[in-house]
Amino acid sequence: MILLNDHRILFGSALCLFVFLTLYIAVIPALDNQRINKPLPRQSKVLTAKEKAGKMVYIENGCVACHTQQVRNVEMDNVFGKRPSIPADFAINRRTDFWRNTANLMGTQRAGPDLTSVGERQPSDEWHLIHLYQPRAAVEASIMPSYEFLFIERDYLQPGDVEVKVPEKFLKNKRKKIVATEKALQLVAYLKSLKQTDYTDKSIVPPFLYKQTKKETEGGQGASNLPDGAELFTANCASCHQANGEGVPGAFPPLKGSPVVSGGDLELYVTIIMKGYDPRPEFATMPAVGINANFTAEDVTAIINHERTSWGNNSKKVTLEEVKVIFDKIKK
């Protein structure tokens, strides 16, 4: 048979088959995918120089081994994003360089939680820095290794230093100040940039994507339907204040038995949730959780009522009308 007897025909045929399969299986589908999947409407901007540097810190420290950046169309993934990920979510990404195609860091394991929208779930610089220095200081059951090498110890703070207020029991030398290095700050900037594109117009969401519905519960006085306060607390507050409401000594204040939670100054309470808080030097600064998460008055009412009636707190619930009055005031 001439095909087997002439090596030029044999190798030429094999080469043509290889080129055809490469084009048909890899190149053409990739070009079609690039043509079809354009950046989503209202998609986030490209990474800044600091965020790009943080992405490289993320890669070099192997974070992709334990954290994914893809929300699947299953109920257990609902906490990680507003909807399942689709190819268009990654259309804005570009190769790291000519040799490395590390544009999408979707990952394959979840030894740690998915980070698709961690920039929305946890917008606090202080929390991320404490968590990187000693994960158990922020999440008691965490199995994440400590990244202490991204921090330095100083006897005295220098101009421009970003101090990390680590709880004393996690410090090796309690007289030293823990300062974040530039790499730590870059990594935090990258993590905070991870925000899933939202759709304000629900009609453009593909029909196969799940649509989260908020559970209805009684809140305040009367039969007003509110979101699930426990669910909102878990998604937005528990990472700092803990699921048991006891906080983390030296880092995040407790809500269990808190005079702010059980007290009568509702305006202060609502303002803290919406705009953040930084009155006590022994604790990390609280970011503007409500503004960052686009809380409505209903969301804030549900969270307040959950906190005022949980962990042994036994305070009177507030009404939606009371919160709306304050909402209108603080927005001015």
pLDDT digits (tens, 9 = 90+) for 155-213: 999 999 999 988 888 988 888 999 999 999 999 999 999 998 765 444 444 554 544 44
| The pLDDT of residue 212 | 43
Spans of all domains in the chain: 49-193, 213-330
How far apart (Å, rounded) are the C-alpha atoms in residues 143 and 128? 15
Helix ranges restricted to H, the chain: 2-5, 7-21, 28-36, 49-60, 118-121, 125-133, 135-138, 182-193, 229-236, 238-241, 259-262, 266-275, 289-292, 297-308, 320-330
Q: Which CATH superfamily is domain 49-193 in?
A: Cytochrome c-like domain (1.10.760.10)
How far apart (Å, rounded) are the C-alpha atoms in residues 319 and 266? 11
**Contacts of 286 by beta carbon, 8 Å cutoff, 6+ apart:** 124, 240, 272, 276, 277, 278
| The pLDDT of residue 86 | 81
Examine domains 49-193 and 213-330 and report if their fold is the same: yes
- Start-to-end C-alpha separation, the chain: 87
| The pLDDT of residue 225 | 80
CA distances from 27 to 21, 92, 101, 297, 304 (A): 9, 19, 15, 51, 54
| The pLDDT of residue 215 | 43
Question: Comparing C-alpha atoms, which of 332, 54, 95 is closest to residue 191?
Answer: 54
| The pLDDT of residue 190 | 97
What confidence tens digit (pLDDT) does each residue in 248-295 have?
776 778 899 989 998 888 999 999 998 888 777 667 778 888 888 888
Question: Comparing C-alpha atoms, which of 96, 74, 99 is closest to residue 85?
Answer: 74
| The pLDDT of residue 147 | 96
What confidence tens digit (pLDDT) does each residue in 19-55 have?
999 999 999 988 887 777 777 666 667 889 999 999 9
| The pLDDT of residue 202 | 47
| The pLDDT of residue 224 | 56
What confidence tens digit (pLDDT) does each residue in 131-160 have?
999 999 988 889 999 999 999 999 999 999
How far apart (Å, rounded) are the C-alpha atoms in residues 208 and 104? 23
| The pLDDT of residue 129 | 95
Cβ 215 vs Cβ 225: under 8 Å: no
What confidence tens digit (pLDDT) does each residue in 6-16 have?
888 889 999 99
Average of per-residue pLDDT values in the chain: 84
Place of tokens 């989260």: 212
Cβ 306 vs Cβ 233: under 8 Å: yes
How far apart (Å, rounded) are the C-alpha atoms in residues 243 and 238? 5
- Please tell me which residue, 322 or 1, carries the higher pLDDT value: 322
The CATH fold of domain 213-330:
Cytochrome Bc1 Complex; Chain D, domain 2 (1.10.760)
What confidence tens digit (pLDDT) does each residue in 89-134 have?
888 888 888 888 888 899 988 999 999 999 988 888 999 999 999 9
State the CB neighbour count (10 A cutoff) for residue 96.
Answer: 14
Q: Rounded to two decimals, what is the model's pTM?
A: 0.66
State the CB neighbour count (10 A cutoff) for residue 217.
Answer: 16
pLDDT at 310 exceeding the cut of 80: yes
What is the arithmetic mean of pLDDT over 244-249? 82
Angle (deg, nearest 10), helices 266-275 and 297-308: 120
Cβ 242 vs Cβ 157: under 8 Å: no
| The pLDDT of residue 206 | 52
| The pLDDT of residue 43 | 66
